[in-house]
């Protein structure tokens, strides 16, 4: 099988021929059909964050594919079933976070494409319980971006407890932002989208944003405040200035929701305004399996649209450059169609 491998932080990925792995106890072997390229993968490949991924690294936490092998003891998944392998590759199931419905905060979790090999490969192993079934009617190309970009923004909107009639400002209309706009609309909010490229703002309008601000041409704080201010500001961009802009665009009682993870990020907020305006600051990390089930459900019901383009895995480094240059409409998704698919995997 082909797999993209990063041997050293900051080095380009190489696409190598690897043995198809064998599923261990509790695992499934999945023949991948698609895997999205999330900005997190780029941080992982560079070792940008305090918690480093294991090397050699095969990134990818938007993998979607068909189960071809079952490890010992797996009874809840079937050969031939389509599943998604999100960031949350495993959680313990017993800690206070797992038990009270916040498995995304489990301290014993491991993450696909970070702690264990991910979806930039033609096959991967997954903990069967964390391989989330993809309903019929959702294509792998749509399911892949929903598996991180979708669930992450869906959970962000849920965590901000947005109510109908509130205004949500979405800072950054990319892979995550184009879905955030739609989830904010689905809960009844008015949506203002902020970005620095007109194409992305046009996309946001097309997906239901009520108002857009081009931050290259106008001060987003002024523009949003003139439009009535934001009750919730979701930060999906990584430029440091955006965090303060998002804070300054909030109304009283507003919630600042931090989602994007710049390489070296700190924010400084004025205590006086935070207290007097009753502002909440919320960190929101991916979502639970149940969140992903709901994301898929909404998509199957026709409530969301995924904007993505496909790339071949051999172009992994070019694809990273494309994402960094900001020229990608929303999401890039690697798709896998090779002679490999005709060979039975060794693990089944």
Bridge partners (DSSP) listed for residue 31 = 66, 123
Contact (Cβ atoms closer than 8 angstroms) between residue 249 and residue 169 = yes
Q: DSSP secondary-structure letter at 20?
A: P
Minimum separation from the CB atom of position 108 to Zn ion (A): 5
143 versus 192: smaller Cβ distance to Zn ion: 143
Residue 149 or 279: the one with the smaller Cβ distance to Zn ion is: 149
* 321, 58, 42, 30 alpha-carbon torsion, rounded to 10°: 90
CA 19 to the chain's CA centroid: 28
Element (H, E) at 162: none
Record the tokens describing residue 286, joined without a space.
């991916």
Peptide bond into 269 cis (omega under 30): no
Say how far apart CA 67 and CA 62 lie, in whole Å: 15
Rg of the chain (C-alpha set):
20
> Which of 144, 327, 324, 156 lies closest to 235 in space, CA to CA?
156
At 218, give phi and psi (nearest 5°): -140, 155
If the CB atoms of residues 144 and 148 are measured against Zn ion, the closer one turns out to be 148
Cβ proximity to Zn ion, 148 vs 221, nearer residue: 148
How far apart, in whole angstroms, are the C-alpha atoms of residue 290 and residue 294?
Answer: 6
Q: Residue 194, SS3?
A: strand
- Given the complex with Zn ion, which of 91 and 204 has the nearer CB atom? 91
**CB 176, min distance to Zn ion, A:** 8
Least gap, CB of 258 to Zn ion (angstroms): 15
Measured from the CB atom, the residue of 95 and 293 that comes closer to Zn ion is: 95
By C-alpha distance, which of 171, 147, 168 is closest to 159? 168
Shortest spacing between CB 231 and Zn ion, in angstroms:
26
Q: Which is nearer to Zn ion, 62 or 195 (CB)?
A: 62
Q: How far is the CB of 103 from Zn ion (least distance, A)?
A: 6
What is the DSSP pairing of strand 190-195 with strand 211-214?
Answer: parallel
Shorter beta-carbon distance to Zn ion: residue 287 or 345: 287
- Chain residues binding Zn ion by CB under 5 A are 38, 40, 91-92, 95, 98, 106, 148
Answer for the pair 143, 64: CB distance below 8 angstroms, yes or no: yes
CB of 39 to Zn ion, least distance (A): 7
- Compute how many other C-beta atoms are within 10 angstroms of the C-beta atom of residue 290: 13
Task: Output the smallest distance, CB 206 to Zn ion, in A.
Answer: 23
Closest CB 115 distance from Zn ion, rounded Å: 14
228-266 CB burial, b ≥16 within 10 A, e <16: ebbbbbbbbbeeeebbbbbbbbbbeebbbbbbbebeeee
Q: What minimum distance in Å lies between the beta carbon of 41 and Zn ion?
A: 7
Residue with tokens 């003891």: 73
Closer CB to Zn ion, 151 or 230, in the complex: 151
């Amino acid at each position: 099988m082909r797999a993209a491998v990063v041997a050293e932080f900051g080095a380009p990925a190489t696409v190598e021929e690897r043995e198809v792995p064998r599923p261990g106890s509790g695992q499934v072997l999945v023949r991948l059909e698609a895997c999205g390229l999330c900005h997190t993968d780029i941080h992982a490949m560079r070792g940008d964050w305090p918690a480093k991924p294991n090397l050699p690294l095969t990134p990818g936490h938007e993998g979607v594919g068909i189960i071809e092998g079952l490890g010992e003891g797996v009874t809840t998944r079937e050969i031939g079933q389509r599943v998604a392998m999100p960031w949350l590759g495993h959680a313990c199931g017993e800690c206070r976070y797992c038990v009270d419905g916040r498995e995304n905060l489990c301290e014993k979790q491991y993450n696909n494409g970070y702690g264990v090999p991910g979806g930039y490969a033609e096959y991967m192993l997954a903990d069967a319980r964390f391989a989330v079934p993809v309903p019929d009617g959702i294509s792998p190309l749509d399911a892949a971006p929903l598996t991180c970009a979708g669930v992450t923004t869906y959970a962000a909107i849920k965590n901000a407890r947005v109510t109908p009639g509130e205004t949500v400002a979405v800072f950054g209309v990319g892979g995550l932002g184009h879905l955030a706009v739609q989830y904010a609309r689905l809960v009844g909010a008015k949506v203002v989208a902020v970005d620095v490229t007109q194409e992305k703002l046009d996309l946001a309008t097309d997906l239901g944003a009520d108002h857009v601000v081009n931050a290259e041409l106008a001060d987003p704080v002024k523009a949003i405040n003139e439009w009535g201010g934001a009750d919730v500001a979701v930060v999906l961009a990584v430029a440091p200035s955006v965090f303060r802009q998002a804070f300054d665009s909030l109304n009283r009682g507003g919630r600042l929701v931090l989602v994007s993870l710049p390489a070296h990020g700190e924010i400084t907020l004025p205590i006086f305004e935070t207290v007097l305006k009753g502002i909440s600051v919320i960190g929101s990390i991916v979502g639970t399996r149940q969140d992903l089930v709901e994301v898929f459900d909404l998509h199957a019901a026709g409530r969301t649209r995924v904007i993505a383009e496909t790339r071949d895995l051999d172009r992994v480094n070019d694809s990273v450059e494309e994402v960094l240059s900001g020229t990608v409409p929303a999401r890039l998704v690697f798709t896998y169609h090779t002679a490999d698919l005709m060979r039975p995997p060794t693990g089944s």
